[in-house]
Chains A and B, each alone.
Chain A
Amino acid sequence: MFKIMKKSSLLLLLSLVLITSILSACSKPVDSSSENGPQQPTGLQQSIILSTTTSTENSGLLDAILPIFTEDTGISVKVVAVGTGQAIKMGEDGDADVLLAHAKASEEKFVEEGHGIERFDVMYNDFILVGPADDPMNLSTDAPSDILKAFSLIHENNGTFISRGDDSGTHKMELALWQELNIETTGKEYVSAGQGMGAVLQMADELMGYTLTDRATYLSMMDKLDLDIIVEGDVKLFNQYGIIAVNPNKNDKINKEGAEVFINWMLSEKGQNLIGEFGKDLYGQSLFIPNAK
């Protein structure tokens, strides 16, 4: 009996220690945020959370320019690279300070609904249709710069097409093209992967199918793939990136000043030049073309 008592009192003590430690851990962030809150704008160690699409992260653009931004302003940038759908959702939930995405319609809706302050054009890149090097559908000769014709040829000839299928900007672009053609995408040849661009490119390589991709991701993986550019240069394939500061009324953690500094820097001559230069040394061409107004 005594033993059991001892055991249970030990348990009680342990749980008390646990509870107090949890309580103190919980209360700490509140204290520190109220202390640091007013200092944040002037402090050098502030940071912003940038919610962006996998394409900007995978291409290496952010790795190339963000350190220079941090050097210029003292603001570090935490990048969360997800699909466009989730990037926008993070903004809606107030989990990010700035959005950098490429789905203009969704972005404009985001600002209209009051989740963001204002949307600015930053840069554009373009989509390309890639496919097996031997091009079984002869698209590169029949439709070298006409994406709609290429899509309808793939559909008519039951060619394998790998779709992102993940609600990303690239997926939305692809769906818009099918819709313009009034084609229902069904059947075994239409493979909906629900994955990121890198995985989908590898899948297209494995299944010897065609897929729509952004140029940057394709160029960065080109050496590992048996895929060639089949269709490029169609105006319909240009892909505009926008940048939006998240509305600070969502919660008090949102760093509005940092977000503004970041947006101004991206739109400045220096930021725009850096974007335009990126990729030239490695691929001989710009991956993103700056076009801030």
Chain B
Amino acid sequence: MREILTGIINAMRLLFSLDKEVYEVIILSLYVSLTSTLLSGLVAVPCGIIIGTKQFPFKKPLVRFIYTMMSLPPVIVGLIVYLFISRRGPLGHLGLIFTPTAMIIAQFLLVTPIITGILYNGAKEKGEEIKRVAKTLGANPSQTLILLIKELRFSIFTGLVSGFGRAISEVGAVMIVGGNIKGHTRVMTTTIAMLRNMGEYENAIAIGIVLLLISFVVNSFLYHLQQDS
């Protein structure tokens, strides 16, 4: 218990300490997770809308597959990405192993099914109606898509927030493909895992609290954006 209390005090100290190492870790966490979430969004939002509003063969198994992928364990994603980009892997020549890019790739794979699944659900419920409205208004296909995106903004918001939450909080994938290298691929979650292994529970709790605070700030910002639109 003592660790948690001192952890809270240490969290404040860490945030305002101007310690370069701490800020590097925080900034890298945000960079990796925001990039992966945004890239996922670009792919997953149109995919989810299309799957939710169109009929095509093998749709049911595809949806089931996406739902399964939504609960993909991060360590498995990390392991698979690792095997692809390690020196002996098929993409080894790209030299991606233990880089922030590798971490973004792994998180992209984790987050994309989540956003796709959420968008699919939203589009399935409201998509038909929105499409009908668009048709009566005489919209062309691209205008219809824009209308769909506008009307499904709640689903998009939910998807992005859930995806970002998954990305910033997972440790399994970034530990494997990033390697937790100091000053290079060390993010908040891998720092917490490392500090725990070192028996430095107080600092681990402190970083955990910083992580929560940052998630709160980012989510408040996204919520604010959603309210405005």
Contact = CB atoms under 8 A, between A and B. Distances in A.
Interface of A: 82-83, 85-90, 165-167, 191-196, 199, 203, 205-207
Contacts, number: 58
Which range contains the number of B residues in contact with the other chain?
Answer: 20 to 34
Contact of A199 (B179, B184, B201): B179
Contacts of B87: 205-206
Contacts of B194: 166, 194-195
B197 interface: yes
A166 B198 contact: yes
B196 A86 contact: yes
Contacts of A191: 181-182, 184
B12 to A, nearest CB: 23
Given A193-B179, A193-B182, 12 more contacts: A85-B198, A90-B199, A165-B182, A191-B181, A192-B181, A194-B180, A195-B175, A195-B180, A196-B197, A203-B179, A206-B87, A206-B98
A103 to B, nearest CB: 12
A88 B175 CA distance: 24
B104 interface: no
Interface of B: 86-87, 97-98, 175, 179-184, 186, 190-191, 194, 196-201
Contact of A83 (B98, B183, B197): B197
A85 B179 contact: no
Contacts of A195: 175, 179-180, 194
Contacts of A85: 197-200
Nearest to A82: B197
Contacts of B182: 165, 191-194
B218 to A, nearest CB: 25
A167 B196 CA distance: 11
A240 B39 CA distance: 51
Contacts of A193: 179-182
8 contacts: A85-B198, A89-B199, A191-B184, A192-B181, A192-B183, A195-B180, A206-B87, A207-B98
Contacts of A86: 196-199
